[in-house]
A and B are shown apart, each in its own frame.
Chain A
Amino acid sequence: MNVPTMAELTAQGIQPEVLFWVGCAGSFDDRAKKITKAFVKILNKAEVNFAVLGTEEGCTGDPAKRAGNEFLFQMQAMTNIEVMNAYEIKKVVTACPHCFNTIKNEYPQLGGKYEVMHHTQFLKSLLDEGKITIEGGSYKGKRITFHDPCYLGRANGVYEAPRELIQKLEVELVEMKRCKSNGLCCGAGGAQMFKEPEKGTKDINVERTEEALEIKPDIIATGCPFCNTMMTDGIKSKEKENDIEVLDIVELIANAQDL
């Protein structure tokens, strides 16, 4: 797997076309690392001239900001912006909607102005440019539902790119009752990922999983590492892990091509 860093490319005098912002989950979380690798495989296959920041990357500050710690958020933001500006980054792609939202919307005012894309948008553009092809492979004919990540959907109005990619897999795309702008959160946003939920009658991810089970999908597709964790946990709590897979869209695309 070819994963050049900005530092390496800069030393060779190469300016990559796009920075792949891996994010903390994508770097450290065992499940999310698979998503990261699937995306890299596709970038490699499409011969995209990309780079990662590697050890120079740090948390965007999203969970700190959503937890109310504006200081910590801005410290992270300014540190990251300094690094990215030093490398003259113009375009950023990330597989995490939280990183996507933060860099796209909250960094510009602090001096970090980049074109920011979610990986599903980026993959869609690769598809449109003919740099990748998407085929169904073993997924052909399966029932797939897409769980909208809040920070991709409602927060930034991206609903179609992920769906268009899924449809290219020659599958049956089925929608949950609450989808797109009405989508129900997985329960991880707003720094909830890092704490136990408040007292209630049910966990949010279980509520969402039950809704997904109603439409009997073979696969629940996600576009966010946190949603992925929450939905995977939900499926496990319903003991359906042998029947239903929770996969990121980029994993579907990469797996279908045996990458």
Chain B
Amino acid sequence: MQYLPNILFAILLIIGIGFFAKNVRKLVRNIKLGKAVDRTDNSSLRLKNMINIALGQSKMVRRPIAGILHIIVYVGFIIINIEVIEIIIDGLFGTHRVLSFLGGFYGVLIGTFEILALLVLISVIIFWIRRMVIRIPRFWNKEMKGFPKNDALYILYFEIILMTLFLTMNAADTAFQQANSGNVISQFIAPLFSGIHPETLHVIERTTWWLHIAGILIFLNYLYYSKHLHILLAFPNTYYANLNPLGEFDNLQSVTDEVKMMLDPNVDPFAAPDETESNDDSMPEKFGAEDVFDLNWVQLLNAYTCTECGRCTSVCPANITGKELSPRAIMMKTRDRLEEVGKNIDTNGEFKLDDKNLFTTISDEEIWACTSCNACVEECPVNIDPLSIIMDMRRFQVMEKSAAPQELNVMMTNIENNAAPWQYNQLDRLNWKDEN
């Protein structure tokens, strides 16, 4: 029976990590539903971007208060998790503070963790105040109702609980307090336990220890269901992000092929269709994006990476002036649809048509309100590109459905007829020269 805690711990660990691994596989499968796009070029610049933007948080500090608080939580989170190594060893082998043989260095280590834990605690409370008391507008947009709003709060509460458990655990550890090395913060909590029976204190210490590791495993598994995946996906997302100038939109190769053929005087307009092509059962390529399958995998990765901070929406000229469009909502709706498709595949083994697509939740009003100004792309702390999704959806509306707003149809007809968006004769293009 003496190994019961160790066995329980091993089971908890296996379930926790196993379940997470299963969800990661699902995540990868869903992202791979997207179309291919080559982002293997220029690996040194990509690496540099990842190090600067994801690891170094360079774009976070464009807004200094949120940026610095976020860096504290981020650094704290990563460094305090070193402690998890010790917890895992202790849990599996029944040891207690196995790394304490490091002596003075152990004290420095735990002391650092404690200071960071306190800083994280303070930062998270400030985050909560920003959301719930100051009510910063970007946290209260239309799309931030229900789960998205609560999701953000759950994570804050989670961090508060984890940090409190960590500090309490240290405070209730009599031997650790007696050693008086590294208990920088917990020494101030320890007096709260004075007078408590040592047995009870030990139970408190054990309970907080178990809750702490269980909490970490629950948090790990909550990631997949929350907006919080960015703590992992920010890295691939910044690595695979678009490196071209923001103003450069991709030229559709399928269109290039057709246009070249149309403009080529040597093409026989009555030629029989290509044999190889007619034998191909696959659907002809769709123009633009109707559903998540028509987006590329980086766009889908973007959707999972979005942490709904709303910086994009807060700089969007359309959103600022009260239009329906919110770049964050575009990302959230794309992700929700992708999740829906993923669940469909889980249930049916393969995707079964469900009469839904991106347009089920993303309205025409949203996609046509965009000025393609790239403010959202520039602002995103992890280089998400909502604009590319909007453009792909416009392409679908125009090239597959001929459903552009009427005024834009007029503009396009003018370009077709007289090579200008307005109804002026191309032969009058140089008239300005002689006008006064």
Contact = CB atoms under 8 A, between A and B. Distances in A.
Interface of A: 1, 3, 5, 22, 24, 26-29, 33, 36-37, 52, 54-55, 57-59, 61, 63-72, 74-79, 82, 101, 104-106, 109-110, 150-151, 154-157, 178, 181-185, 187-204, 206-208
Contacts of A3: 430, 433
11 contacts: A29-B422, A63-B421, A66-B372, A69-B398, A70-B395, A74-B252, A78-B260, A110-B251, A154-B373, A155-B246, A184-B315
A28 B398 CA distance: 26
Nearest to A190: B372
Chain B interface mostly: helix
B135 to A, nearest CB: 19
Contact of A185 (B248, B255, B256, B373): B373
Contacts of B427: 55
Interface string B115-152: 00000000000000000000000000000000000000
B374 to A, nearest CB: 4
A199 B323 contact: yes
A184 B245 CA distance: 18
Given A3-B433, A68-B404, A194 B411 contact: yes
B426 A71 contact: no
A75 B259 CA distance: 6
Q: Which of B398, B404, B420, B428 has the most CB of A within 10 A?
A: B420
Interface string B407-424: 110111001100111101
Contacts of B433: 1, 3
Contacts of A207: 317, 320-321
Contacts of A70: 251-252, 255, 287-288, 395, 399
B391 interface: yes
Interface of B: 244-249, 251-252, 255-256, 258-260, 262-263, 287-288, 315, 317-318, 320-325, 365, 368-375, 377-378, 391, 393-399, 404-405, 407-408, 410-412, 415-416, 419-422, 424, 426-433, 435
Contacts of A65: 249
Q: Which of B251, B263, B323 has the most CB of A within 10 A?
A: B251
Nearest to A208: B317
A156 to B, nearest CB: 5
Nearest to A105: B248
A61 B405 CA distance: 17
A253 B258 CA distance: 45
A68 B259 contact: no
B251 A36 contact: no
Given A27-B432, A110-B256, A189-B372, A154 B378 contact: yes
B415 A63 contact: yes
A181 B368 CA distance: 23
Contacts of A181: 378
In the A-B complex, the 9 residue pairs with the smallest Cβ-Cβ separation, listed nearest first, are: A155-B247, A201-B322, A190-B372, A68-B394, A58-B419, A105-B248, A185-B373, A200-B322, A68-B398
B189 to A, nearest CB: 44
Given A157-B245, A204-B318, A74 B371 contact: no
Contacts of B405: 195
B364 to A, nearest CB: 9
Nearest to A5: B430
Given A27-B429, A54-B429, A70-B395, A59 B421 contact: yes
Contact of B432 (A33, A150, A178, A187): A33
A146 B370 CA distance: 23
